[in-house]
Structure 1
Amino acid sequence: MFKAIIGVLFVFSTEFISVQSSIYNKVHYLDHGDKYSVNPSGSGLDLETFCYKGRKKSIIYTWQSVIFTIHHPSDDYTLYEGCSPEDVQMEFSKNKYYWSPNIFMVKQKSFKIDPFNDTCIGVRSIAPYVVHYNVINLDFWKLLFLGVGIGLFLSADALSKNTVFHYISGITFGICASTLIIIYFISKLFPRKPFVYGALGLGWTLVIYLGNIIWENIQTIVTEYKLYVLWYILLTGLVSFVFCYRWGPVKNQRTMNLIKWSLQFLGMCSIFNSSSYQEAAMAQIVILLISYNLPQRWKMAPKNYWIRRFPPKVKFLSNEEYYQQGVRETAKALDELRTYCSSPDCNQWKTALKLKDVKRFASFMEGNSHLSDDELLEYETFIHDLTDDEDNTLTDEDDED
């Protein structure tokens, strides 16, 4: 009798759970472009699960993105994510009976999911909503991440030595870290006691939480409070520039190496995050590292082979082009010489001691010609005689012909 009652209760509970699951957990499999409208009963216990079946990994889907979008009139809904409907149901059951708030969770109405893995998202809401899956075969943002990563990796050496980059980085860091600096100075006003450190620790979590909210509502903040945002950026940027100007750009070679390696690491992170196909992203990073560290003669080997195989056609200059090129290059070299002699790198007094005619050197530095009148006359006479000899030679050859 006792065993019979237990069996009946077990069957009843199993049927009850299956009924509850069928009522509260409705599974829908969506594909590219599919939309599904949901009108909940209003009890708040309905759980709709929307699943996307991941496709097989392939190179042609390296930069593909799958976007899950929920069109909801408010933020009064809860999302549960898992690899299968059972995982979603487990998360739903676990959070239904336990109070586990997460102040750092920001509800996004549109986010990307992995296109190569099965993904299910459960939605619990009272108000009606619409769910939309969209597949982008060639995501522009992923290509942008790839391009930025490659460019940052290849230009890291030049940027680490660039003064303008040092100032821009310092000013940007000052603007972003200004909130932390304000908290640091405020902490100096409080007595150094253990409970104060606890309060400050709680303050850091509050700053992170506010930062998440600001990041999610950055467009609204910039639109409605653009004047305050502009003044904040100008003031913090000016203070940061003063500090950067006081300390000057980086001069130590080891510091430059650290900056270069940090930029290269950020570039590789950008490349890795440019694709959900992690194997392909790692292959791109390996190819980039190998090509970057190849010896220069190996890099130039294909170009040299191409030049030997298909040599470029040599175009000879005419007399007029040769003369114009000589005049242009001579004027350019003289300007560079004047610039060097006027720079701090040149010791003018030491140079003047080595010259025979200092007055002529001073006249050249003031912009006058580097040739004297006698030298110009001698040059023109030489050119005239050379031209006459060439004409006579050509005339004799024509007579012989």
Structure 2
Amino acid sequence: MAPNTKSNAVIQSCIGKTVLSCLLIPLLFSSNAFCAIRAVQAGNAPHQYNIKPANVYHVSNNRSEPLLTIFCWTGDPKTVFGLWKTATVYLTIEDEDFYIYKGENASHVVHLHQSLQQSWFSFLPWKEKSISVSPFNMSCVGVFSQSPYSLRLDLRQINFNRLVMFATGILIFMVAPSLCKKVVFHYTTGTLVGVLGSILIIVYLTSRLIPKKSGAYAVLIGGSSIVFYLIRSLWENLYSVLREYHYYVIAYLAASSAISFAFCYRFGPVTNTRTIQLLQWGLQLCGLYLVFESSEHKEGAMAIILVTVVSHNFPGSWWARCRTLWYQRFPPKVRMLTEDEYVEQTRIETERGLKELREFSKSPNCNAWKTISRLKDPLRFAEFVEGKSHLSDREVLDYETTAYRENETWTDDESDEE
């Protein structure tokens, strides 16, 4: 019995080592090590179709196994007016038993399909029912499913979300120099960084609990796909999470915001000039990144970024010289006022000036005693400040008489010439 017992122990040890190796090898190497578990089934030759915008393509599979179907979009030529042009592929399917791939051409899609089918993590639902493709270059989308579905390509000449992103990027780039000097910006940014940075602290404290061995690091690297999947699932189910666990979310935001604001208040806003300049550059880089990502026309986006950077750093004296040369070469046309327009503008400007004088005289900035000491008739000025006319009745009568006599003189001269 002893030899049999020993041989059984050896067999069990070999089986245990084999099972342990099967569990650790995928974590120590890439995910492609499981090619024997999920292999591509033979006989599934992909079907390829060229699609056009606004057309709906219905696909039904009569086979008992999933089928890979590839849809390719050739793209439109690039134009200056296509900066915010976008193309999106929408998939309509009832169940979740499908895989969707995006590639530059059909062979790229087939390669992605084979890689995913050979991967250990192919059970993870990397599934989106809307995929953005390039509106200018050739793009292919592959759908691997057994259920019937429909596919549509939506082509927008101007995507207003991209347009808003572009305007936001330009605005951030322009206001960054003045925004980085405001105290409110420092406190708001510090609080936001504290709220987001607390998540990294939790991840760091969790990583301290993992044993410092090569196998543990392999688990972390191999589990990056799972972490990405969890983050994506959390983002897609954000509404349900906020609805069911809103008390925990509010408590976390309140606690992290209070602690972050306390740290910012303790150390105060940034006062170092170089630090403020670094913040400005970082904020401007974020704005330029938004401009670059707002357009699929990358050449046009880069041209706008270069023009924005050059114009922002262009010397002010050179701008003034360019404006002077422009006005000398193309002088603006000046239209002379008519007599009625001149009289009306005089009346409006006079009333505006008198109103401003009254408001200044009533304000604390006016030194009343010093002003009265310089006036010949302080009582008349006081009545003017209280709302009376700045002209007396005699002055109005003299003005009207003089105007009437001048009008008569011009009339007599004209009659003599006739």
TM-score norm. by structure 2 comes to 0.69
Residue 177 (structure 2) pairs with residue 157 (structure 1)? yes
Gaps of 5+ in 2: 1-41, 384-389, 407-418
Q: How many angstroms does 1:201 deviate by?
A: 4.8
Mapped to 2, the partners of 1:308 and 1:382 lie a distance apart of 45
1:310 corresponds to 2:334: yes
Matched, 1:80 2:92: no
One of 116, 120, 137 as aligned partner of 2:136: 116
Q: Find the residue that maps to 1:67 and give its secondary structure.
A: strand
Q: Which residue of 1 aligns with 2:11?
A: none
Offset from partner CA, 1:58-83 (integer Å, 9 cap, x none): 12222111111112233321223333
- Which residue of structure 2 aligns with residue 50 of structure 1? 71
Counterpart of 1:285 in structure 2: which amino acid? Answer: I
Instruction: Give the match for residue 325 of structure 1.
Output: 356
> Which piece of structure 1 moves more, 173-182 or 156-165?
173-182
Contact 2:372–2:378 at 8 Å: present in 1 too?
no
The CA deviation at 1:86 is 3.4
Of the three residues 226, 230, 242, the one matched with 1:210 is: 230
| Offset of residue 53 of structure 1 | 1.4
Q: Distance in 2 between matches of 1:302 and 1:233?
A: 51
**Structure 1 unpaired stretches of 5+:** 1-19, 336-368
Q: Aligned partners of 2:139, 2:332: CA distance in 1, in Å?
A: 55
SS in 2 for 1:40: coil
**Backbone CA RMSD of aligned residues:** 3.9
Quick one: distance in 1 between partners of 2:403 and 2:206?
Answer: 97
Cα distance, 1:247–1:379 mapped onto 2, change above 3 Å: farther
- Which one of the candidate residues 43, 53, 60 is aligned to 2:81? 60
Instruction: Give runs of aligned pairs for residues 252-263 of structure 1, distance below 5 A.
Output: 252-263=272-283
Specify the alignment match of 1:272 in structure 2. Answer: 292
Q: State the distance in 2 between where 1:71 and 1:219 align.
A: 22
For 2:210 and 2:292, how far apart are their aligned partners in 1? Answer: 46
Q: Which digits, 9 at most, give the CA deviation of each residue in 1:233-252, with x for residues without a partner? A: 22222222222222221111
Q: Give the alignment partner of residue 286 of structure 1, picking from 306, 309, 319.
A: 306
Alignment match, 2:260:
240
Number of residue pairs the alignment of both structures matches: 345
8 Å contact kept, 1:44–1:124: no
Q: Once the two structures are superposed, what CA deviation does each residue of 1:78-107 show, in whole Å capped at 9, x if it has no partner?
A: 2233333333334434554x3353799832
Q: Is the 8 A contact 2:361 2:368 kept in 1?
A: no
For 1:320-361, what per-residue CA distance to the aligned partner results, in whole angstroms no more than 9, with x for missing partners? 5433212324555719xxxxxxxxxxxxxxxxxxxxxxxxxx
- Distance in 2 of aligned mates of 1:245 and 1:293: 34
Provide the rounded CA distance (Å) in 2 between the counterparts of 1:283 and 1:216. Answer: 35
Tell me, in whole angstroms, the C-alpha distance in 1 between the residues paired with 2:109 and 2:362. Answer: 77
Partner AA of 2:378 in structure 1? E
Distance across 2 between alignment mates of 1:48 and 1:399: 94
Query: Structure 2 vs 1, CA of residues 89 and 282 (structure 1 numbering), >3 Å: closer, same or farther?
Result: same
Task: Point out the more displaced range, 147-156 or 130-139.
Answer: 130-139
Say if 2:133 and 2:139, in contact at 8 Å, map to a contact too. yes
1:173 pairs, out of 150, 172, 193, with 193
Contact 1:149 1:270 in 2 (8 A): yes
C-alpha displacement of 1:316: 3.8
- Cα distance change on mapping 1:132 and 1:387 into 2, 3 Å: closer
| Contact 1:103-1:209 within 8 A present in 2 as well | no
Are residues 187 and 134 of structure 1, via their aligned partners in 2, closer, same or farther at CA, if it must alter by over 3 Å? closer
Change (3 A) 1:193 1:46: closer
- Partner Cα separation in structure 2 for residue 311 and residue 331 of structure 1: 39
- One-letter amino acid of the counterpart of residue 188, structure 2: I
Over the matched positions of the two proteins, sequence identity in percent amounts to 27
Residue 77 of structure 1 aligns to which amino acid in structure 2? F
How much has 1:55 moved relative to structure 2? 1.6
Q: Tell me what 2:47 maps to.
A: 26
- Pick from 154, 158, 170: which aligns with 1:134? 154
Distance 1:89 1:191 in 2: 38
Calculate the TM-score normalised by the size of structure 1. Answer: 0.72
* Amino acid in the other structure paired with 1:310: V
CA distance in 2, matches of 1:47, 1:71: 16
Contact 2:83 2:296 in 1 (8 A): yes
State how far apart, in whole Å, the 2-side matches of 1:395 and 1:29 are: 86
Letter aligned with residue 305 of structure 2: I
